[in-house]
Structure 1
Amino acid sequence: MPTSRDLLADLIAFDTTSRESNLALIDFVRAYLAGLGVDSELLFNEERTKANLYARLGPDGPGGVMLSGHSDVVPVDGQPWSVPPFRMTERDGRLYGRGTADMKGFIASVLASLPRFLEQPLRLPLHIAISYDEEVGCLGVRSLVAALEGRPDRPAICLIGEPTEMRPVLGHKGKLAMRCEVHGAACHSAYAPQGVNAIEYAARLIGRLGEIGTRLAAPERHDERFDPPYSTVQTGTISGGRALNIVPAECRFDFEVRALPSDDPQRVAEELRDYAEHELLPKMRAVREDTGIRFTPLSAYPGLLTPADSPAAELLGLLCGSQDFSTVAYGTEGGLFDQAGIATVVCGPGSMDQGHKPDEFVTLEQLGRCDAMLGRLVEWMKG
């Protein structure tokens, strides 16, 4: 049977950048599973250009462990790659290519491990999940989560193989990204009071976001398990204005909240909307009635914090040979699975220090450690 290295080379050859279809990769995985006698089902997007894949093996009934990963990768546009990004290159114990670390290395290891699971009389079912559009806001997996949530035989534990350098991870922050559009009223700058300066009102909103961020960073709100140990707010993009002698009628900015699992990022958005509605809009409409402020959600996913004394954490500690649990700064699909009643933990080969960068790589040593972890899972699950 092919090794995890062999399968990683196959997976890297598929350009599954989020703007592209992932169906060629999904078809490859589905054919590989069928060759092992494992049926799978697909959950398509509305356009049927992308799909989640779900499969299970072992005994019928609820419970068991799900191994989960996303198929999409970030773009390579404009990055100075020294190797072909969609053809795996091996050099000095490293495997280069887009997605090697984030996170096709884990998927390859899962596929390579399946014959060992199939050789055993498993006492619990093993579930396999491969999603799409994780990199653009954990969008694709939501239909899979909804399908599993309504099934009596859903898994009890999910292991997501995001790159953690094979360290056991129990949590990450949640995220809310939003766009704010301020519609003011233009006029000649010589008569500025007759207009409504959209940039200035946007600046007031951004200033309020800064005040909220300062409150969230107060020492009493810290959780030292995270880095930074508090929820953060930041404005990432802003655009507006046409010329210096025109009072700008339009301004748009995007902001995000990276929230501790104990904080609700929607409260930040609600406070900003309240400030806009009760303090800024009356002043704007006193000058021009047709002015306004609009908020549009861009993406969101919940945080994750699985208790260290839970069965899921106990299993992860056994598989990793360590209970030195930690958190990661980036997000995963784990919070969505957890909200559906599937306790979720994170561990996978590679480092996010290499993810999303040119010449992304995973080491053969990391891939081997992942293979070994899944071998321990086989031993734990067999009857």
Structure 2
Amino acid sequence: MADYLENTLLNLVGTDTAVPTGTTEILPGDTHLYDTVTSAVLPMVEALGPDEILRHPCGDIAARFGPDTPDGLLLQTYIVSQHGNLMTDPQQGRIVDGAALNLDGPAVVGQGANQNKGPMAAALSAVRELRSLRRAVWLTVNCEGRSSHDGSRRIYEDLGVRAAQSIIAFGTNLHVSLGNRGRVDIRVTVSGAAAHSSQPELGRNPIPPAAEIVGRLPEVPLPPPHPELGPATATPYQFQCEPIAPHTLPSRVHVVVDRRLLPGEDPDAAVAAVRRQLDGSWPELEVIAGAAMFPALVDPSAPVVGALARFPTMYSRNAFDAGYGCSIGVPTVMFGPGRRDFGAGVVHAEAVSISDCRIAAAALAKAARTLCG
């Protein structure tokens, strides 16, 4: 018979909270996401019997367990799933033999299973076991859908959640992530003038200068690699022409550059460096900052690391939300079940081992007791 964790995981995976196919983000306050969190996730949190529940107009939930103290633990979960976009029946959460997926024992397959929903089920299960706390344990459901720190800003600043340590429940394959690179999207717009492609002399084609700009990105000055986090990078990942019409030169080309940041780097300074490098490439050139996430780096001696001491540590090259907590002085690690695939599998299949979810739930409960019990 299915138990609480298994039922919770299947319900979460069966709830559509993914970034819609064909788009790259969910805007703050999205009506579908807000209503889905209200109907499907909020009742799960309420059933845990928190001492206080706070709700942000954008949908984020913060639930406090134990006394209202500033020196407790923030356990963050995330409801938006961003990958597994090409899965068949992505919300049809189902249990399969994990052996075929190189997972131990039964596994749940479905969108978000190994990114955020397996870890969320583990976090909910962990909080369910907490009793007689001396410090606050905050369980949050973060509704951020744009790969930015806006959700954490809302939780810390708007809702006023206070904590001395933080664990982000996220798929790390049961490793404790002590750090990750940050990132800033740099949006480059090259403007020209549209014309029919049979008479290009009547317009100004922005495609060649945009291609030249992409070719100059390797010349952007970058800091030396970090011994654990690897190199800073400047990688173009979107190239869009506007308008798209038959036999028509576009009037604008938009290039988006993923600039990965190392500890000590400032997003605005990174954008300014790219702007200087590209200055003079084309008369009508705009370089602006998009969404950004700070790098994260936690001292291995931090209490939150000690509370998860039986698990191996790791460092990640991708960017995530741990950087925000670290930037305001809250040591923030990532930990949870879920083996991530950052290659072709990132869009095709997501699954999480149920036994790994149980291990994570027990570990999170023990960490909360260690820090707040």
Q: How many pairs were matched up?
A: 349
Aligned-pair CA distance for 1:165: 0.7
- Compare 137-146 and 342-351 and name the one that shifted more: 137-146
- What is the percent sequence identity of the aligned residues? 23
Q: CA deviation at 1:295?
A: 2.6
Deviations 1:187-239 (A, max 9, x none): 79999899755233323322332111xx437xxx122212xx11011111224
Deviation of 1:43 after TM superposition, in Å, equals 0.5
Q: Match of 2:16?
A: 15
CA–CA distance in structure 2, aligned partners of residues 4 and 245 of structure 1:
56
1:309 aligns with 2:312: no
Structure 1 alignment gaps of length 5 or more: 46-50, 285-291
Q: Provide the C-alpha distance between the structure 2 equivalents of 1:262 and 1:121, rounded to a whole number of angstroms.
A: 40
What is the CA–CA distance in structure 2 between the aligned matches of 1:244 and 1:200, rounded to whole Å?
Answer: 19
Task: Summarize the Cα distance change of 1:44–1:69 in structure 2 as closer, same or farther, 3 Å threshold.
Answer: same
Partner of 1:99: 112
Alignment-derived partner of residue 347 in structure 2? 357
- Aligned residue for 2:332, secondary structure, equals strand
Stretch deviating more after TM superposition (177-186 or 94-103): 177-186
Report if the CA contact (8 A) 1:134-1:141 is conserved.
Answer: no
Residue type matched to 1:89 in 2?
R
Cα distance in structure 2, aligned partners of 1:110 and 1:375: 8
* Correspondence for 2:42: 30
Cα pair 1:72 1:133 within 8 Å, conserved: yes
1:61/1:306 Cα in 2 relative to 1: closer, same or farther (>3 Å)?
same
Which deviates more, 198-207 or 241-250? 241-250
Tell me the CA shift for residue 174 of structure 1: 0.5
> Matched residues in 2 for 1:44 and 1:195: separation?
47
Partner of 1:159: 167
Aligned residue for 2:80?
A: 72
Q: Distance in 2 between matches of 1:233 and 1:76?
A: 25
Question: Does the 8 Å contact 1:173/1:331 carry over to 2?
Answer: yes
What is the RMSD computed on CA atoms of the aligned residues?
A: 3.1
2:103 corresponding residue in structure 1: none
Distance 2:96 2:177 in 1: 29
Aligned-residue offset at 1:300 = 1.2
Change (3 A) 1:205 1:61: same
Amino acid paired to 2:362: A
Residue pair 2:77, 2:123 contacting (<8 A) in 1 also: no
Which of 260, 263, 272 does residue 261 from structure 1 map onto?
A: 263
Letter in 1 for 2:93: M
> Which whole-Å CA distance do the structure 1 matches of 2:37 and 2:250 have between them?
48
Aligned to 1:223: 226
Q: Which amino acid aligns with 2:117?
A: K
TM-score by length of 1: 0.80
Matches within 5 A, 1:38-49: 38=50, 39-45=52-58
The gaps in structure 2 that reach 5 residues or longer are 20-25, 27-31, 98-105
Contact persistence 1:109–1:367 (CA under 8 A): yes
Residue aligning to 1:170 = 178
Which residue number in structure 1 is paired with residue 362 of structure 2?
372
**Contact 1:52/1:141, CA 8 A, preserved across alignment:** no
- Deviating above 4 A after TM superposition, structure 1's stretches of 4 or more consecutive aligned residues are 185-197, 240-249
Q: Secondary structure of the equivalent of 2:56?
A: strand
Structure 2: distance between partners of 1:275 and 1:375: 49
- The answer to whether structure 1 residue 52 and structure 2 residue 40 are counterparts is no
Of residues 265-274 and 120-129 in structure 1, the stretch that sits farther from structure 2 once superposed is: 265-274
Instruction: Give 1:287's aligned residue.
Output: none
- The 3 A distance-change label for structure 1 pair 268 and 209 is farther
Distance 2:372 2:247 in 1: 74
Native 8 Å contact 2:337 2:356 kept in 1 = yes
How far apart in 2 are the matches of 1:243 and 1:86?
Answer: 36
Letter of the 2:179 partner, please give it.
Answer: G
Q: Cα–Cα, structure 1 residues 57 and 21, in superposed 2: closer, same or farther, change >3 Å?
A: same
1:244-294: CA deviations, max 9, x gaps? 9987653221111012223334333212323444x335xx4xxxxxxx212
Instruction: Give the one of 306, 323, 330 matched to 2:318.
Output: 330
> Which among 95, 100, 107 is matched to residue 90 of structure 1?
95
Contact 2:108 2:351 in 1 (8 A): yes
When residues 96 and 186 of structure 1 are mapped into structure 2, their CA distance, relative to the original with a 3 A threshold, is closer
CA contact (8 A) 1:105 1:349 kept: yes
Asked if structure 1 preserves the Cα contact closer than 8 Å seen for 2:72 and 2:137, the reply is yes
2:125 corresponds, among 101, 104, 112, to 112
Matched position secondary structure for 1:128: strand
How far apart, CA to CA, are the structure 1 residues paired with 2:372 and 2:245? Answer: 70
Structure 1 residues 340 and 262, CA gap change in structure 2 (3 angstroms): closer
Between 352-361 and 11-20, the greater mean CA deviation after superposition: 352-361
Distance 1:75 1:381, change over 3 A: closer
C-alpha displacement of 1:380: 1.6
Distance in 2, Cα, partners of 1:247 & 1:32:
53
DSSP-derived class of the 2:308 partner = helix
SS of corresponding position for 1:61: coil
Structure 1 residues 91 and 61: alpha-carbon distance in aligned structure 2, compared to 1, 3 A threshold:
same
2:75 aligned with 1:63: no
